[in-house]
Amino acid sequence: MEFINKCNQILFFPYYLSFENLKWDIISMQYIDYTYSKFSPTKQIIRNLLIDEQKEKCCYCLKILEKNNSTTLEHIYPQNPNASSSLATYSIMCIDNRVFDYSVQNIPSSNLDNLPHDISYYNLLACCSKCNGERGNKDIIPFIFDSIVKTKFLYDDQGNIFSSQYFNEIVSIGLAGDYYKRNRKIWRQLKNNVGNNPIPTDINTLKNEIRTIASALYLVESDPYYLDLITDEDKVKDTIKYKYFFDN
């Protein structure tokens, strides 16, 4: 797991400001249609900046993210929270400001600290669509803001994920599910196969290595997922995006 350092507010400010100006009604002194309606191009820019901030990794499963619609905006405090959701659960200090106060809506150009929670910089992460869908609006502790979070998650050669402190978050996001487990397992197996050598740089060599591992795993486990992986090019490409687990 990786710590996400939300300290790039200055890069995001112009895009949030344009959003605020578009949605703020100076006559009524309130926001009108505070959604991404008519704001798609800038939403994409914000998404891409978040991807860069996270070094192209999904905030939860660490899959390599692409700058297209396969990457979504994750709202740490949900857009549609459960009735029982407590903001206190999410009030974690970032590098320079508290995450947000969803009860406050500042007028444009003031600052970014207390924007409504569905657009606040401190409430947005780049996330793969699978993790976003799995988590939904379930309450989680925002462990990605824990500066030593990397030491609090462990993975084994079978692709299992462990964390005593953040066990509930693993369950809520579904990170122990078969899909994630299989992809982590393949990369750990590849690491064991190559020893101290790096990941093959030739993409075709890497694909063949993955197919070879999938074939061996299928013979042992009879899991049809691995059988599909041998022949399905898209599944191989998807597995490659989990290369984080080669060294972690």
The tens digit of pLDDT for each residue in 105-115 reads 444 444 444 45
Q: pLDDT tens across 14-26, in order?
A: 877 777 777 777 7
Per DSSP, 245 falls in state: G
Residues 6+ apart with CB under 8 A from 60: 74, 127, 128, 131, 135, 144, 173, 175
On whether the CB atoms of residues 73 and 128 are closer than 8 A, the answer is no
Of 122, 142, 2, residue with least CA distance to 61 = 2
Six-digit token string for 88? 């206190």
- Flag whether pLDDT at 48 surpasses 80: yes
d(CA 140, CA 13): 27
- How would residue 96 be classed by pLDDT, with cut points 50, 70 and 90? very low
DSSP-H helix ranges across the chain: 9-23, 40-53, 129-135, 167-173, 178-194, 203-221, 224-231, 233-240
- How would residue 98 be classed by pLDDT, with cut points 50, 70 and 90? very low
Q: pLDDT tens across 177-210, in order?
A: 999 999 999 999 999 998 888 998 999 999 999 9
The β-bridge relationship of strands 71-75 and 124-128 is antiparallel
- Flag whether pLDDT at 35 surpasses 80: no
Q: How far is CA 243 from CA 60, 153, 232, 236, in A?
A: 14, 17, 18, 12
